[in-house]
Structure formats: structure tokens, C-alpha cells
């Protein structure tokens, strides 16, 4: 359907209307395939048409990948975005989302699943016009040579395009890796960089001029940390790094062996660097093959606790601007795939062992007091022995008229008391049964 703007007729590629209840959202759609790029003048005309028609947005689709999801690859007059929003999707983003939904999350409706499968098959065909990221731009080779020669300066005109395409490469690599893993892999940016893309471009420009490197990070859900990717244009190497928090307990060698055990299938050329708490400067670093034989090479001071371990893998960097063998794009994508498969997916974060219950010890019954508790407490000490029970006093001997001296033998006194009695009229005792002398 053509739209008239002034004296000219414009034909956008499509229109999308989404309704929910009484509310609706309408957007014009403009699509480019192959190496065709979006035109700023054309987009500004479509924004004017959308504003006149009361539409909400303009959506563009092309093979261009912007440095960040909130950034559009084409510059337009910001004043035209006051009432109409501008959105962009790359064909790589659409393909990755489709594969993620169909192959990993699933589609319950069979008709929708079939349609989605046909879309994926069409987009993956080389003649569909939906191309992958395949070019670092015409400024890549001159900039790389200037870095190698040490002649790159901050006002070099080749820098803006290269830093933008490097971030686009990282976004493409995240889509590629997420399509294989079945999860959302994101190019990690700070909050300020997401709100203002120029800050990210300035940071990359400063890094490139000062150190000759380009760097960025990818975040993969449920992994121990972000993957940092660094392209060193001076050394012609691509390095992938992963920082792992060190265990909080155990001897230093035990903490090193904890990491080494998780890297049993990793290549020995990995570089392991140990950082300690309150460290200044670089920490001890050695190849994994050496650390396997002698974990103590990473211990500089046994009295200082480890803070983290950095695992790094470097591969040769491609020099070509396009795709294929010896190309820069392929060397970055392959380095990420190999590092994730050999290192990242095998490393788990350290977790302290849960505390174990202690067995309750029953005290001996003869030593338990009437109010003692059987529950074990960390404040309990050894129980004192129970005091002996007091014995009741012996009954006083039964006597008639005289005393029994305490010094006499107890057994003999008992026998005498049972066989004699004292006569008050006679001083000497007489046997109980004899009465002959009394007459």
C-alpha cells in the first residue's frame, strides 16, 4: 500500500498491527537483504509517514548488526523520534531467536512449529539474502597495519568504523554461541554504555590507541563468570579469559588443586594466574601443564589467601577482513567456541560443604542428676562425679539402767545385750537363765 508524503509516493515493505483488548500497536516495516544497507533519508520519510498516520513505530530489518541492541545502525534526525520510535533487527538475530525457540524451548502448536521450521530453513539458505556477519569493513586492514607500525593516533579516521564493527562482531558471536547452547548469550555492557553508546565507542578507541587491543565480554547464563575476549593487534593473538573466585577454605595447594581437577581435559597451554587479597600488580602465573605437576608454583606467600584464578587461552589472530581461513572474524568466533567447550562449561563455582550433625552422647545413668538435660551443648563441660548419698545413723543400743561404753567392740556388745540384763540390786551381771545363787 503506497503512502503519499508531499509530492512523492513511498511504499514500505510491510505493516504490523498487534491488538490486545482495546489497545493496538502499529509499526511500518522496512527490509533489506544481502549487502544492501538502510538509507537515512528513506527512514526519515517513513518516520514522517508514521507520525502523520498515527502509527507507533518504524521497524527495520537488515544484515547490519549495530554495536548494541538499543542502537540503530543508521543515523537519523533525533527530532523525528519524539512521537515515533525506531527499532532494528538483524537477520542473524531473527535466525538465532527462531532456532532457540523451536529447537530448545519448543512450540506446542504443530502448525506454528512447521511454519517456524520453514522460516529457519529459508533463512539458512545461502540465496535467502539473510547473511551472517562477514566483513570488518574497508578500514580494517589500514588500521591493523597502523597498529603494527605504531603510527595509530586518536584522530585516525579508520577508528570509528573498526570499533563499531568489533562490537557488532561480539554481538554476532553471542548470537552464534547462544544458538548452539540454546540460551540467551549477551554482549555485556555497563549501564552507562547501554544508555549512551558513544561512551563504549570512546572506551574502545582509547584502548586501541593506548594498547593496540580491542576487548569485550560475553555473559552466558549459569556459568561461573563472563568470558572476556581480547584481540591484540600488535601480537596478532586472540585471548579468551575467565575469572573464577577461589575457594574460601583449605590450604593454598588444596585451593589450586580444586581448580586443576576441573581442568583435567583442558589443554596444557592454558595460562593460570592467581590473585591474592589486597594484591598490587600481577600475581603468579604459569601454564596449566606446569601447575598440574607442581601446584606450589602459584603460591608466592602461603600466609595470604587467594582471591581468584584467571584462566586464559590464546590463539593466532586472523588478518583478513572477511570470512574464511585466516580471517579475523572466524578466528574470534572459533576461539570462543573452543574456550567454552574446553574450559567454561567444565568449571563450577566453589561452594562450602554444609555442616554435619554431631551424634548425641548419652551420659552414664548413674551420673545423671534429676534435672540434667540430655541435649548436647557446646557450653557443656565434663560432668562432676555425683556426691555419695548420706547413710542414716545406727540406732542407739537399748540398755536398762547403765551405759555401754563406745570403746567396746560392736559385735561383742551386741551379743552381750542379747544374752544378759543388769539387776539394779546387784553390781555384777548374772546370766539370764541362772537362779541358784539368788536364793
> Is residue 86 included in any domain, yes or no?
yes
Which range among 101-110, 280-289, 338-347, 411-420 shows the weakest confidence by mean pLDDT?
A: 411-420
> For residue 131, which of 64, 39, 70 has the smallest C-alpha distance?
64
What is the average per-residue pLDDT within 237-249? Answer: 94
pLDDT at 432 over 50: no
Q: Point out which residues pair with 313 in neighbouring strands.
A: 240
> Is residue 31 included in any domain, yes or no?
yes
Residues 50, 43: Cα–Cα separation, whole Å: 10
> Is residue 394 included in any domain, yes or no?
no
pLDDT (0 to 100) of residue 410:
46
pLDDT band at residue 334 under the 50/70/90 scheme: very high
pLDDT (0 to 100) of residue 35:
86
pLDDT at 413 over 80: no
Of 134 and 86, which is predicted with more confidence? 86
pLDDT (0 to 100) of residue 3:
86
68 is written with which cell numbers?
Answer: 548494541
Number of independent structural domains in the chain:
1
220 is written with which cell numbers?
Answer: 552466558
Residues 159, 258: Cα–Cα separation, whole Å: 43
Residues 71, 164: Cα–Cα separation, whole Å: 11
Which residue segment(s) compose the domain that 61 sits in?
A: 1-131
pLDDT band at residue 392 under the 50/70/90 scheme: low
Residues 19, 42: Cα–Cα separation, whole Å: 27
pLDDT (0 to 100) of residue 400:
52
pLDDT (0 to 100) of residue 71:
83
> Is residue 56 included in any domain, yes or no?
yes
pLDDT (0 to 100) of residue 426:
45
Provide, rounded to the nearest whole percent, the portion of the chain with pLDDT above 70: 83
Residues 260, 254: Cα–Cα separation, whole Å: 10
pLDDT (0 to 100) of residue 218:
95
Q: Is the pTM of this model over 0.75?
A: no
217 SS3 class: strand
pLDDT (0 to 100) of residue 393:
60
> Is residue 282 included in any domain, yes or no?
no
pLDDT (0 to 100) of residue 371:
57
pLDDT (0 to 100) of residue 256:
93
> Is residue 53 included in any domain, yes or no?
yes
pLDDT at 438 over 50: no
Pairing of strands 227-232, 237-245: antiparallel
**Alpha carbon 133 to chain centroid, angstroms:** 29
> Is residue 39 included in any domain, yes or no?
yes
pLDDT at 430 over 80: no
Dump pLDDT digits (tens) for 192-241: 888 888 899 999 999 999 999 999 999 999 999 999 999 999 999 999 99
> Is residue 107 included in any domain, yes or no?
yes
Dump pLDDT digits (tens) for 77-109: 989 999 999 999 999 889 888 888 887 778 888
Instruction: Say if residues 224 and 350 touch (Cβ distance below 8 Å).
Output: no
Angle of helix 159-181 relative to helix 328-342, nearest 10 degrees, comes to 40
Amino acid at each position: 500500500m503506497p503512502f503519499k508524503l508531499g509530492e512523492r509516493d513511498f511504499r514500505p515493505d510491510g505493516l504490523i498491527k498487534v491488538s490486545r483488548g482495546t489497545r493496538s500497536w502499529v509499526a511500518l516495516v522496512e527490509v533489506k537483504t544481502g549487502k544492501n544497507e538502510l538509507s537515512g533519508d528513506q527512514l526519515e520519510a517513513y518516520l514522517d509517514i508514521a507520525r502523520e498516520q498515527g502509527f507507533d513505530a518504524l521497524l527495520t530489518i537488515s544484515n547490519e548488526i549495530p554495536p548494541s541492541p538499543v542502537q540503530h545502525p543508521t543515523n537519523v534526525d533525533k527530532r523525528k523520534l519524539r512521537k515515533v520510535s525506531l527499532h532494528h533487527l538483524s537477520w542473524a538475530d531473527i535466525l538465532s531467536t527462531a532456532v532457540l525457540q523451536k529447537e530448545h524451548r519448543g512450540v506446542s502448536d504443530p502448525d506454528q512449529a512447521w511454519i517456524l521450521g520453514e522460516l529457519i530453513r529459508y533463512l539458512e539458505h545461502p540465496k535467502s539474502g539473510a547473511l551472517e556477519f562477514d566483513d570488518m569493513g574497508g578500514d580494517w586492514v589500514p588500521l591493523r597495519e597502523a597498529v603494527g607500525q605504531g603510527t595509530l593516533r586518536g584522530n585516525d579516521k579508520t577508528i570509528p568504523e573498526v570499533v563499531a564493527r568489533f562490537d557488532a562482531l561480539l554481538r554476532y558471536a553471542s548470537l552464534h554461541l547462544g544458538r548452539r547452547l540454546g540460551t540467551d548469550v549477551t554482549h555485556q555492557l555497563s549501564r552507562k554504555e547501554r544508555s549512551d553508546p558513544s561512551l563504549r565507542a570512546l572506551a574502545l578507541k582509547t584502548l586501541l590507541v593506548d594498547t593496540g587491543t580491542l576487548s569485550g565480554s560475553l555473559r552466558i547464563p549459569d556459568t561461573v563468570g563472563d568470558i572476556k575476549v581480547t584481540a591484540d593487534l600488535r601480537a596478532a593473538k586472540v585471548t579468551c579469559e575467565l575469572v573464577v573466585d577461589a575457594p574460601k577454605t583449605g590450604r593454598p595447594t588444596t585451593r589450586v588443586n580444586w581448580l586443576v581437577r576441573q581442568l583435567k581435559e583442558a589443554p596444557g597451554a592454558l595460562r593460570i594466574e592467581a590473585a591474592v587479597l589486597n594484591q598490587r600488580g600481577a600475581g603468579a602465573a604459569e601454564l596449566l601443564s606446569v601447575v598440574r605437576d607442581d601446584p606450589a608454583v602459584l603460591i608466592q606467600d602461603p600466609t595470604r589467601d587467594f582471591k581468584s584464578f584467571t584462566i586464559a587461552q590464546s590463539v593466532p589472530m586472523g588478518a583478513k577482513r572477511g570470512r574464511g581461513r585466516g580471517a579475523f572474524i572466524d578466528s574470534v568466533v572459533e576461539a570462543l567456541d573452543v574456550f567454552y567447550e574446553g574450559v567454561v562449561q567444565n568449571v563450577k563455582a566453589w561452594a562450602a560443604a554444609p555442616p554435619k550433625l554431631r551424634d548425641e552422647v548419652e551420659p552414664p545413668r548413674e551420673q545423671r542428676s534429676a534435672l540434667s538435660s540430655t541435649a548436647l551443648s557446646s557450653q557443656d563441660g565434663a560432668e562432676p562425679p555425683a556426691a555419695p548419698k548420706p547413710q542414716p545413723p545406727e540406732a542407739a543400743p537399748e540398755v536398762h539402767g547403765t551405759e555401754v561404753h563406745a570403746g567396746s567392740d560392736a559385735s561383742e556388745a551386741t551379743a552381750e545385750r542379747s544374752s544378759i540384763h543388769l539387776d539394779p540390786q546387784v553390781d555384777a551381771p548374772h546370766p539370764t537363765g541362772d537362779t541358784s545363787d539368788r536364793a
